[in-house]
Structure 1
Amino acid sequence: MNTLDVEQEQALEEFRNNWRQEVREKHSRNKQPEVPSSEKQDCLTHNTSEEESIADIIDHTKSLATTEEEKEPVTAMDHYVIAVDNERQGKLGKALDSYRRAFRLDPNIDYAYEQHYQKEILPKIQESNVRPKMHSEDFKHFIPLGREYTAPSAMRTDPLADLITQFSNEEGLSYIPRLDYKSVAISKLPSEIMVDILRFLVLHSLSTMPFFALTCKKFFLLSRNPSIWQYACIRVFKDPSMTLEQSKRRQLDYVRKYNGHWMRMFIDRPRIRYDGIYISTCNYIRPGTSDIGWNQPIHVITYYRYLRFFPNGTILKHVTTEEPQNIVKLLQPGFDKKQCFHGRFTLDGEDHINIVMKDKTMPKLMFNMKLIIKTTHRGRHNKLVWDEYSSFSDIPNRGSDLFDLKSLKAFFFSPVRSYTTCYPSELNDMDESLMIM
């Protein structure tokens, strides 16, 4: 080996040594010192608690979400509650299915539900009845169960008469501010203007009147002003064929049956409600098919009759399998689909309604419906029962046909927020000679 080769070999070995030294130093700098076992446990505990706290925050955030997904029914009580709700809405097919599922899980679920209703459901219902209801776009139609309501005597004394007299005799009755140093802005509004506002309110938002009256003594006395209820009676009980003046004279004669009490007449006298829709929920059984010969299923089919009245004397009737939440907003004067009837109604006596209507798909047939206004414990004047249903034809030598009323279900009323009701001459001042102050 010559001298050149020896020098190259030495230089290469020196390079290798330097490279190994640099690798060792770099490895020693990156290597962390050994942590004792106790410190490792503390660190692990800290990380676990931190993860748990983050999980709690996430769960709490989910609980505050504005939209809550509906949970699938799991227990027998879940299925039973759903079944009861569907039955109240007239959906017997869905109710029957849920009842079956509930009794399969617990044969005594009906007894357990009675206790659950008394402890959980009833207190929530009572609490919601005390507080004003929040308006919602969701529509749900309920069928009142039980016997019809019988109104007390029209000549009975007002249970609040003594309270009205006591408040009226108080001197200097005025608005009392919640904070002494703040004035009541509404006190600058004359009582006459407040009465005009309440006239509009009683026609278009009657359910808010009790909450208005509970505000203070002054508002309570204003809400009992006879002119407000006289104004409402003249328009609500007006026959479509009458003029406003004729209705004024008619109601002045009629209020004598209620001892001159306009508010009691408005509440107790049967009337047609225009701020919603009447729905008749009907069911029929259709046999199903099965591969097993000894077990034949049945299907309960639900369909609806919708009936809407308008103050001008026209009606709109529609028969469909579409559920109420999908169809009620569409039932406007221009609505025209299959199984849609248009016609007019008249009042026959105090509580009888006579309807004549026609379906454009059957131009030679006319239909006549006679209904009676009833009251249930769920609300006033919210039920229409069948008195007669017939059809007659324009074809010569063909008489009328009567339908069997046993297969026809009563109509029940549900308010609809999107419906606007326009009464005749709402903004016109009434003749002062007709006012009862």
Structure 2
Amino acid sequence: MMTSNAGGIDGDGEDSEESSSSLATMPGQFMTVLDDFREQWQKELKGESSRGTPTRENNKHKSLHTTQKGRDLSDESRAEQLFLQGAELEKRGKVYDALTYYRRAVQIVPDIEFRIYEAAKKAQQASAIADTANLNRNTADDEEDTINDADGDEDEDLSNVDLFARFHNAILKSDSLFTRTNAEKGMLITGMHISDLPMEIILYILRWVVSAQLDFRSLEQCAAVCKGFYLCARDEEIWRLACLKVWGVNTGILQNSGYNMWREMYIHRHRVLFHGCYISKASYMRYGENSFQDQFYRPVQIVEYYRYVRFFPDGVVLMMTSADDPAQVVGKLRTTTNLRPEILKGHYRLHGEQVIIVLKRYQKTQTYSAAGGKKRGSSNEADDSHTFFIELNVASSTRRKFNQLIWKSYTFTQMKNSFEIRTDFELTSAKYPPFWFSRVKSYHLEADAPLQ
């Protein structure tokens, strides 16, 4: 028995020795993998613990901040309510009670008054911005409608439209020639509107606009103001008086003239223009004498000069020849009085497409005795008159009507000692170029008399 036990014990010991020897003989790579797994597992545990701690702290801080913010908002609202209650009591005259509420509000939020003021200011600015935006939006809509209407009007072809008939029908529908643009109910008006004037006064004002100088350019500008002025500017009596002033006895009768209205006659019938003067520029070459030292050298001088003609509605015409520029000369032809000696004054008449001009110049000469060269008498003076007869054709260009005068004939007559000397000039394009009209604004700045 003992032997078996001993042997058994011995067998177990052998088994343990075999297992330990087998572990001892296990490869080292398995031990290395196990150590790596333990290290990685420990690192993961440490990482989770490190991430978990800040998250809880952040949540704690957030909750504290939210709580503090809610407490601040509640304090500000309480202070604002107390301050507004104090303001209401102050309005009622309870100043002592209002001070109590003010004190409590300031204890909660020291700058509550400034906060309420800033909040009210921001609200007022926001309201003003909103109102401005609405106003701009409405204005933009109105402008868009106006532009659309204008576009519609521009698209309409008015070349064959009788504006006089259209405006006349519009005036008949409104029962008034002029209307107030600011005629609102309840508005106190202290001044007098032009629509309050009688029609006779308005037409008389337009006669002053045209004036005795026939300034129809200003009348057309008045016609562009509104429909009422457009109709008044087409008054037949104004245009009839203008035709009579231009053509005189040669005006004729409207029914036999081939024109439907007096305005149509004034526009299309040949005439001269009055709001400026006609200017013709001429030049010639003047040769000098040969040089004493060089016989082949001969000086040549180019001479340029201007002829000016201005017509007046009453039949008076002024003519002047000068080498000065037009800007220096046109002012001398403004009136028919106090004329300079170099300006010729005469009369003109219109016959069809022609304008006939008669100009005169008077020169007083004193006679002398044959012996001794003494005067025979200081009071004995003989008149030496020069008369110029000029015929010009009235022509038009593509830009303007009746802005060109073309020479047709030019005759000079001199009366000396009861003898008449007549000279006819040969009209060449180089010596007598045509006249071209140039507008002068200063001629019609003032009106001295109405159209009659």
Tell me the TM-score normalised to structure 2 length: 0.49
The structure with the largest helix share of the pair is 2
Task: Choose from 439, 446, 449 the match for 1:415.
Answer: 439
SS of alignment partner, residue 270 of structure 1? coil
Alignment of 1:309-348 (within 5 A): 309-331=311-333, 332-337=335-340, 339-347=342-350
2:199 is the counterpart of 1:191: yes
2:404 is the counterpart of 1:402: no
Match of 1:281 in 2: 281
1:345: Cα distance to partner?
Answer: 2.5
**C-alpha contact (below 8 Å) 2:306/2:323 kept by paired residues:** yes
**C-alpha contact (below 8 Å) 2:274/2:312 kept by paired residues:** yes
2:372 is the counterpart of 1:372: no
CA 1:273–1:166 in structure 2 vs 1: closer, same or farther (change >3 Å)? same
Task: Choose from 402, 406, 426 the match for 1:381.
Answer: 402
SS of alignment partner, residue 178 of structure 1? coil
1:357: Cα distance to partner?
Answer: 2.0
Match of 2:219 in 1: 209
**C-alpha contact (below 8 Å) 2:210/2:451 kept by paired residues:** no
Deviations 1:237-273 (A, max 9, x none): 32xxxxxxxx5xx645145424331111111112233
1:320: Cα distance to partner?
Answer: 0.8
SS of alignment partner, residue 396 of structure 2? strand
Q: Distance in 2 between matches of 1:356 and 1:391?
A: 10
2:227 is the counterpart of 1:224: no
CA 1:370–1:400 in structure 2 vs 1: closer, same or farther (change >3 Å)? same
The one-letter code of the counterpart of 1:224 is R
1:165: Cα distance to partner?
Answer: 5.2
1:370: Cα distance to partner?
Answer: 0.9
Match of 1:267 in 2: 267
**C-alpha contact (below 8 Å) 2:254/2:262 kept by paired residues:** no
1:195: Cα distance to partner?
Answer: 1.4
SS of alignment partner, residue 241 of structure 2? helix
Q: Distance in 2 between matches of 1:306 and 1:321?
A: 11
Deviations 1:27-77 (A, max 9, x none): xxxxxxxxxxxxxxxxxxxxxxxxxxxxxxxxxxxxxxxxxxxxxxxxxxx
**C-alpha contact (below 8 Å) 1:202/1:232 kept by paired residues:** no
Q: For structure 1, which segment, 287-296 or 337-346, has the greater mean C-alpha deviation from structure 2 after superposition? A: 287-296
SS of alignment partner, residue 405 of structure 1? coil
**C-alpha contact (below 8 Å) 1:311/1:421 kept by paired residues:** no
SS of alignment partner, residue 181 of structure 2? coil
Identity %: 27
The one-letter code of the counterpart of 2:347 is R
CA 1:337–1:215 in structure 2 vs 1: closer, same or farther (change >3 Å)? closer
Q: Distance in 1 between matches of 2:229 and 2:238?
A: 13
Q: Distance in 2 between matches of 1:158 and 1:295?
A: 69
Deviations 1:269-303 (A, max 9, x none): 12233343222121224569999999999764321
* Aligned alpha-carbon RMSD (Å): 3.9
CA 1:298–1:318 in structure 2 vs 1: closer, same or farther (change >3 Å)? same
Q: Distance in 1 between matches of 2:400 and 2:245?
A: 21
**C-alpha contact (below 8 Å) 2:357/2:389 kept by paired residues:** yes
Q: Which has the higher contact order (CA 8 A, sep 6+)?
A: 1
Match of 2:50 in 1: none
Match of 1:23 in 2: none
Q: Distance in 2 between matches of 1:305 and 1:279?
A: 6
**C-alpha contact (below 8 Å) 1:341/1:360 kept by paired residues:** no
**C-alpha contact (below 8 Å) 1:311/1:423 kept by paired residues:** no
1:208: Cα distance to partner?
Answer: 2.5
**C-alpha contact (below 8 Å) 2:317/2:348 kept by paired residues:** yes
Q: Distance in 2 between matches of 1:255 and 1:287?
A: 59
Tell me the TM-score normalised to structure 1 length: 0.50
Q: Distance in 2 between matches of 1:185 and 1:374?
A: 44
The one-letter code of the counterpart of 1:227 is E
**C-alpha contact (below 8 Å) 1:355/1:368 kept by paired residues:** yes
Q: Distance in 1 between matches of 2:303 and 2:204?
A: 49
Q: Distance in 1 between matches of 2:193 and 2:253?
A: 40
The one-letter code of the counterpart of 1:270 is H
The one-letter code of the counterpart of 1:197 is I
**C-alpha contact (below 8 Å) 2:403/2:436 kept by paired residues:** yes
Aligned residues: 262
**C-alpha contact (below 8 Å) 1:376/1:382 kept by paired residues:** yes
The one-letter code of the counterpart of 2:437 is F
